[in-house]
Amino acid sequence: MRTIRSRHRVSALAGVATALLALSACGQEGSPETAGGGTESSGGSSAAPTYAVASDVAITGSPTYDKITSAGKVVIGVKADQPGIGQKDPGSGEYAGFDIEMAKLMAAKLGLTPDQIEFVETVSANREPFLQQGTVDMVIASYTINDKRKEVVDFAGPYYVAGQDLLVRADDDSITGPDALAGKKVCSVEGSTPATRIRDEHPDATLVTFDAYSKCVQQLTSNAVDAVTTDDAILRGYAAQQPDALKVVGEPFSEEPYGIGLPKGDTVLRNTLNDAIEAAVSDGDWKKAYDFTLGGSGTDPEPPAVDRY
Ligand code: GLU
């Protein structure tokens, strides 16, 4: 793994030491043979993966990392209602999903243990404002990298590529793709790329928007709308919760490269996280994270190459 040099150290060394002890005790980390060995099976039934916490982290010239260091924690904006991606358990308050694993993975590469992550719920429309206002240090929330967003925030990644798709009622065979949406009510989320694409490219559809996709799913099951549109990875999570009632059409019609949103101009942190994503792909941690969360949905994608723009 690449060593990041220089002067700052994350302060909570006791926490790091405890985590390292715990990691070696359960024998999942620190051994080159187990890292990336491909022995974990897919699905969510196996034990949660753990990631080796870097002990020699030092980064110079990143205002965000300086803030993280002095706070002793990283504040990460994530989704709370997207199964498989970012979902908050209403009972325990714990978050789970691929984005949550990516958050733990990025934190580990910055020398932070999972208990040094503060998750803050974000919806699609407040991701840029949260980064601009410093409410969060980063956003890992099914967040498509695009040029418009790059005007106000920066992105590390992509760490995954999704595609826009449609969720419909299981007994509906009339909606086969976006061209069949004319005259139909389609639900999506304000501030998202899928909502923009329906507005721009499928104006014959009637777009209904909410702030979160789970509300769209309720609209679909109560027959108030005919379809929900967003990324296939998100829609598969909802379909899996109600397989008798819902299905994904399965004809993706866009590319949605997921990035880690960062405050604009923090090039040092962007480079650091790009290095961390590359390291996670080559040491097997990316696959562990994927298999534990989205892997059960029958897909086995190649991780994308990071874009060092
Ligand atoms: N990836 C798309 C976006 O960033 C849709 C998913 C979402 O809204 O979180 O807009």
**Closest residue to atom 1 of ligand 1, CA basis:** 144
Domain containing 138: what range? 43-160+258-297
Do 63 and 266 form a contact (C-beta atoms < 8 A)? yes
CATH of the domain at 286: 3.40.190.10
Question: Domain check: are 215 and 240 in the same one?
Answer: yes
Question: Domain check: are 155 and 63 in the same one?
Answer: yes
Question: Domain check: are 99 and 54 in the same one?
Answer: yes
Do 15 and 116 form a contact (C-beta atoms < 8 A)? yes
Ligand 1 neighbours (beta carbon < 6 A): 124, 141-144, 189, 192-194, 230-231, 256
Least confident piece of the model among 42-46, 146-150, 154-158:
42-46
Ligand 1 centroid–CA 162 distance in Å is: 10
**Closest residue to atom 6 of ligand 1, CA basis:** 142
pLDDT of residue 2 exceeding 50: no
Task: Establish if 309 belongs to a structural domain.
Answer: no
Contacts 24+ apart (CB under 8 A), 235-242: 235/165, 235/166, 235/167, 236/84, 236/294, 236/297, 237/82, 237/83, 237/84, 237/85, 237/87, 237/97, 237/297, 238/83, 238/167, 238/213, 238/214, 239/167, 240/83, 240/84, 240/296, 240/297, 241/83
pLDDT band of residue 47 (cuts 50, 70, 90) is confident
Task: Establish if 224 belongs to a structural domain.
Answer: yes
pLDDT of residue 36 exceeding 60: no
Question: Domain check: are 156 and 60 in the same one?
Answer: yes
User: Tell me: the pLDDT tens digits for 76-114?
Assistant: 999 999 999 999 999 999 999 999 999 999 999 999 999
Sequence-distant (6+) residues with CB within 8 A of 123 are 79, 189, 191, 211, 212
Ligand 1 centroid–CA 278 distance in Å is: 23
Pocket test for ligand 1, best of 149, 165, 231 (most atoms within 8 A of CB): 231
* DSSP-assigned letters across all residues of 134-183: TS-SEE-SS-B--HHHHTTEEEEEEEEEE-EEEEEETT--S--SGGG-TT
User: Tell me: the pLDDT tens digits for 226-279?
Assistant: 999 999 999 999 999 999 999 999 999 999 999 999 999 999 999 999 999 999
How confident is the model at residue 228, as a pLDDT? 98
Question: Domain check: are 231 and 269 in the same one?
Answer: no
Predicted structure pTM score = 0.86
Ligand 1 centroid–CA 118 distance in Å is: 21
CA angle 205, 207, 210 (to 5 degrees): 160
Question: Domain check: are 50 and 192 in the same one?
Answer: no
Question: Domain check: are 156 and 177 in the same one?
Answer: no
Ligand 1 centroid–CA 124 distance in Å is: 6
Question: Domain check: are 148 and 48 in the same one?
Answer: yes
Neighbouring CB atoms inside 10 A of 171's CB total 8
Pocket test for ligand 1, best of 127, 256, 258, 260 (most atoms within 8 A of CB): 256
How confident is the model at residue 298, as a pLDDT? 66
